[in-house]
Structure 1
Amino acid sequence: MAEWQRIVSDLEAEGILLVQDGNHGEYRPRPAEFGDTGTAFIRAADMSSGRLLFESAQKINDVARGRIRKGIGAPYDVILSHKGTVGKVAFAPATCPPFVCSPQTTFWRSLRHEVIDPLYLYAFLQSEPFRAQLRARENESDMAAYVSLTEQRRLSVAVPPLEIQRAISDVLSALDGKIAVNDRVSTMALELADARYAHAIRELDFGPETFGSVATVVGGGTPSTKTEEYWGGGIAWTTPTDVTALSAPYLFETSRTITSAGLENCASQLYPAQSIFMTSRATIGAFALPQMPAAVNQGFIVVLPPTEELRWWLLHEMRSRVGEMISLANGSTFLELSRKNFKAMPIRLADAQVVAEFAQAVSPLHGRAAQAAAESRTLAALRDTLLPQLMSGKLRVRDAEKIVEDAV
């Protein structure tokens, strides 16, 4: 596979690939230029399960669109999120409506389909070898996770012969399809749970209780990165990137781990499974329920409910208040919601029976959503295993098709 590796900037120089982000220079669409109709303005939040969510995306009017000269999407583009949330990938179908990339997203466009098949490019950008390149670059600044356009052009792409590309994309598309179905199952389950919560609070007012008065609210920290013995142990250590990359709020693993010594020398505790993790800086209001004990860095607010029933109530109360939390955040470099401000926020709290009935109703929905997310994770791992084996010739396409058929 090594002989097929090509640097992105070289592919651009040869007119094979075009990589362009939505950084529109000094111009940013003004609030008055957004509306319900117009050209979709694609952010990381508008990417899910490989799809671009054109209908729910913000729209810019013709005046704003007329000022934009780069980051203009087209059919068969592969869209990559590169700022805040790094590593989401989506494919623009042949019949896609007009769209432009926001400053959070980049399009990768094959200019010569006889050299790089767009569906293969979509598959490769989801592969572990490519994601590893992103991870190596996304935390090079002290700000939110970010891989600049310059850095993206330094990445490498494997470009095997076209017949291999198309065989690979055909095999992997079946896995991607099942992952997309699972992600829709998770999304629908969460939407049902949110709707149940909206119904439960429809006649409730805010009372004297606050997040801080009904639950334990804590945070996290980072062990010294200069001390090697703190890192690479068996303890999950969560960063906001681990959470913002999730398609559903269930965390099964983290990109980095720490040792017992690292845990003892940072501000985080080892929080139990099913704690409520919420990102509190840069991206505010991304949630995860860890499926295993985990620590967190300083980019989180962690809520530890006193009972299982209250866990689900507080999670949905938090999910419904993200806009308000953002309004309470401050910071010159990036917005951050302080624990003090969060703890002081009043909440809507029903009596114990209503809270228990709500938990009984939504707990199975979260269970089904987590199950679908876990299955998607397994399928994604299978995809990442098959891709290099197919590209190296160690696995025949026919055998890979049988493996995929058994998996889905």
Structure 2
Amino acid sequence: MATWTSTTLGSICKFQAGDGFPKDLQGDADGEYPVAKVSDMNLAGNELFIVNANNWLSKKAVDKAFKLHPPGAVIFAKIGIALTSNRRRILVRPTVIDNNMMSATCAKDIDPRWFYSLLTTLDFNEISSGSALPFLTVRDLSKIPISVPPLPEQRAIATTLGALDDKIELNRKMNATLDSMARALFRDWFVDFGPTRAKMEGRAPYLSSDIWAMFPENLDDEGKPEEWEVSAIGQEVSVVGGSTPSTAEAEFWDGTLSWATPKDLSNLSAPVLLETSRKITAAGLAKISSGLLPVGSVLLSSRAPIGYLAIAEVPVAINQGFIGMVCDKRLSNAFVWLWTLANMDAILSKANGSTFQEISKGNFRPLPVIIASAEILAAFDAVVKPLYARIARNERESNTLAQTRDLLLPRLMSGEISISDILHVG
């Protein structure tokens, strides 16, 4: 720490607020420059870098009324409840940000990835103003005291932490590809009935000969492959709900049993539930009629909002915001996961409620599911189950990497440990 410099955050970066984004310009998916809003930080693919945006602007519009924030700048929410989440993202191209956000661009003698890591260690809640609606000011941000190591050490820290972040990002991209492959296969076989349609049109086989031979030659009068049946999802899986043990009873809480709420699924980057934020005791579990659902159960948030979806990789109890599907019959959890995704519009159409939309178990159970032959279901599982298993394995690795990063981050950024300390331990 002897060579570290004590200074303030404002001395090593430039803060810049975003611009008002008129409604008449919103919703355009074409343009030269992306517009980053607070909600864009939640988009798939934007966990570290802002690579996707829901709004774009033309160069003409930007030149007329907006300022661009440079690649490498770190953006964050500057007002409202989103501020309390302390999320940071890195821009990868010149970008417009809306007026609920702010950017910080580091000085030329500061390593950009070290700077990003520094910002992730700072709790902006501690300096926000406003009680009802928290907000940040450039003045308050600029006064935050920090310690800055020499540039070579900044780069060493950034390289170490960046390697962990980059591997997590690589796993996320791989999982997105695996997810897309699984969805595409499900749609081709069980929604579009691609192999049967290809046979009817005399097209060449595009699956292995043994699997190709399993598919019927024609569609029936109902438009599905011959001899396939229509069932109800409630007949093919055990559909259960959950509840919340009384929070006034301390004996129900802080145990060892996982208890999920839709919030546990809200920030998942893959459909894999590895842990829950709260735990209950055996006494708390006794208050939940559905009990502890087994590993492999498919969880669908049934309200506020409908549509969060994951496969439980731990035994888990659920609260009243879920429809739980225990796959204890002929459909695998991989099939049920993909069926649920493919039928989300139908699920949403069965929701009701005045305060918020909710899909009840009674409305969910009758939803139709088309059942292929046992050999086709088995062939599908033989392809898709390994894809899901790889997704789950990547998520476990990313969780371990994130825990390692979060353990090292404050110690490295404060100078408590150095890169040489880590190398000596290794």
TM-score bracket, normalised by the shorter chain, equals 0.7 to 0.9
- The alpha-carbon deviation at position 390 of structure 1 amounts to 1.6
What is the alpha-carbon distance in structure 2 between the residues aligned to residue 351 and residue 112 of structure 1? 60
Question: 1:139 maps to which residue?
Answer: none
What is the alpha-carbon distance in structure 2 between the residues aligned to residue 324 and residue 107 of structure 1? 36
When residues 11 and 223 of structure 1 are mapped into structure 2, their CA distance, relative to the original with a 3 A threshold, is farther
Q: What residue identity is the alignment partner of 2:48?
A: G
What is the alpha-carbon distance in structure 1 between the residues aligned to residue 280 and residue 109 of structure 2? 43
Structure 1: gaps spanning 5 or more residues: 135-146
Q: What residue identity is the alignment partner of 2:385?
A: S
* Correspondence for 2:95 among 94, 98, 118: 98
| 2:187 maps to 1:177 | no
Question: 1:120 maps to which residue?
Answer: 114
Question: Any idea what SS the aligned residue of 2:258 has?
Answer: strand
Q: What residue identity is the alignment partner of 2:322?
A: F
Question: 1:216 maps to which residue?
Answer: 238
When residues 393 and 58 of structure 1 are mapped into structure 2, their CA distance, relative to the original with a 3 A threshold, is closer
Question: 1:367 maps to which residue?
Answer: 389
What is the alpha-carbon distance in structure 2 between the residues aligned to residue 261 and residue 98 of structure 1? 52
What is the alpha-carbon distance in structure 1 between the residues aligned to residue 305 and residue 315 of structure 2? 23
What is the alpha-carbon distance in structure 2 between the residues aligned to residue 178 and residue 287 of structure 1? 24
Question: 1:377 maps to which residue?
Answer: 399
What is the alpha-carbon distance in structure 2 between the residues aligned to residue 240 and residue 377 of structure 1? 19
- The alpha-carbon deviation at position 120 of structure 1 amounts to 3.4
Q: State the TM-score, normalizing by the size of structure 2.
A: 0.71
Question: Any idea what SS the aligned residue of 2:89 has?
Answer: strand
Question: 1:395 maps to which residue?
Answer: 417
* Correspondence for 2:370 among 348, 363, 381: 348
When residues 69 and 381 of structure 1 are mapped into structure 2, their CA distance, relative to the original with a 3 A threshold, is farther
| 2:110 maps to 1:161 | no
Question: 1:297 maps to which residue?
Answer: 319
- On the 8 A contact 1:86/1:245 being kept in 2, the answer is no
What is the alpha-carbon distance in structure 2 between the residues aligned to residue 108 and residue 53 of structure 1? 17
| 2:288 maps to 1:288 | no
Kindly provide the CA deviation profile for residues 316-368 of structure 1, in whole angstroms up to 9, marking residues without a partner as x: 11112234434444445544333333223222332222111101111111111
Q: State the TM-score, normalizing by the size of structure 1.
A: 0.74
Question: 2:287 maps to which residue?
Answer: 265
Kindly provide the CA deviation profile for residues 133-182 of structure 1, in whole angstroms up to 9, marking residues without a partner as x: 89xxxxxxxxxxxx975499999988332536554323200111111112
Question: 1:196 maps to which residue?
Answer: 185
What is the alpha-carbon distance in structure 1 between the residues aligned to residue 25 and residue 360 of structure 2? 28
- On the 8 A contact 2:68/2:94 being kept in 1, the answer is no
Kindly provide the CA deviation profile for residues 108-154 of structure 1, in whole angstroms up to 9, marking residues without a partner as x: 52255379865335335656x869x89xxxxxxxxxxxx97549999
Question: Any idea what SS the aligned residue of 1:160 has?
Answer: strand
Question: 1:237 maps to which residue?
Answer: 259
- The alpha-carbon deviation at position 38 of structure 1 amounts to 6.1
Moved more, 361-370 or 347-356: 347-356
Kindly provide the CA deviation profile for residues 222-257 of structure 1, in whole angstroms up to 9, marking residues without a partner as x: 222222221110011112222122221112211111
Moved more, 107-116 or 183-192: 107-116
What is the alpha-carbon distance in structure 2 between the residues aligned to residue 20 and residue 309 of structure 1? 52
Kindly provide the CA deviation profile for residues 38-60 of structure 1, in whole angstroms up to 9, marking residues without a partner as x: 65455212444423232xx4335
What is the alpha-carbon distance in structure 1 between the residues aligned to residue 353 and residue 69 of structure 2? 33
Question: 1:144 maps to which residue?
Answer: none
Question: 1:34 maps to which residue?
Answer: 28
- On the 8 A contact 1:16/1:111 being kept in 2, the answer is yes
What is the alpha-carbon distance in structure 1 between the residues aligned to residue 327 and residue 374 of structure 2? 14
Kindly provide the CA deviation profile for residues 55-74 of structure 1, in whole angstroms up to 9, marking residues without a partner as x: xx4335669x78x9899865
When residues 324 and 151 of structure 1 are mapped into structure 2, their CA distance, relative to the original with a 3 A threshold, is farther
Q: What residue identity is the alignment partner of 2:95?
A: P
- The alpha-carbon deviation at position 269 of structure 1 amounts to 2.2
- On the 8 A contact 1:280/1:299 being kept in 2, the answer is yes
* Structure whose CA Rg is larger: 2
What is the alpha-carbon distance in structure 2 between the residues aligned to residue 151 and residue 119 of structure 1? 23
Moved more, 331-340 or 227-236: 331-340
CA RMSD of aligned residues (A): 4.4
Question: Any idea what SS the aligned residue of 1:348 has?
Answer: strand
When residues 161 and 199 of structure 1 are mapped into structure 2, their CA distance, relative to the original with a 3 A threshold, is same
What is the alpha-carbon distance in structure 2 between the residues aligned to residue 53 and residue 398 of structure 1? 34
* Correspondence for 2:74 among 71, 74, 78: 78
Ranked by relative contact order (alpha carbons within 8 Å, sequence separation 6 or more), the top structure is 1
Q: What fraction of aligned residue pairs are identical, expressed as a percent?
A: 30
When residues 337 and 241 of structure 1 are mapped into structure 2, their CA distance, relative to the original with a 3 A threshold, is same
Kindly provide the CA deviation profile for residues 301-328 of structure 1, in whole angstroms up to 9, marking residues without a partner as x: 2111224753221111111223443444
What is the alpha-carbon distance in structure 2 between the residues aligned to residue 174 and residue 229 of structure 1? 43
Structure 2: gaps spanning 5 or more residues: 127-131, 194-218
What is the alpha-carbon distance in structure 1 between the residues aligned to residue 176 and residue 306 of structure 2? 20
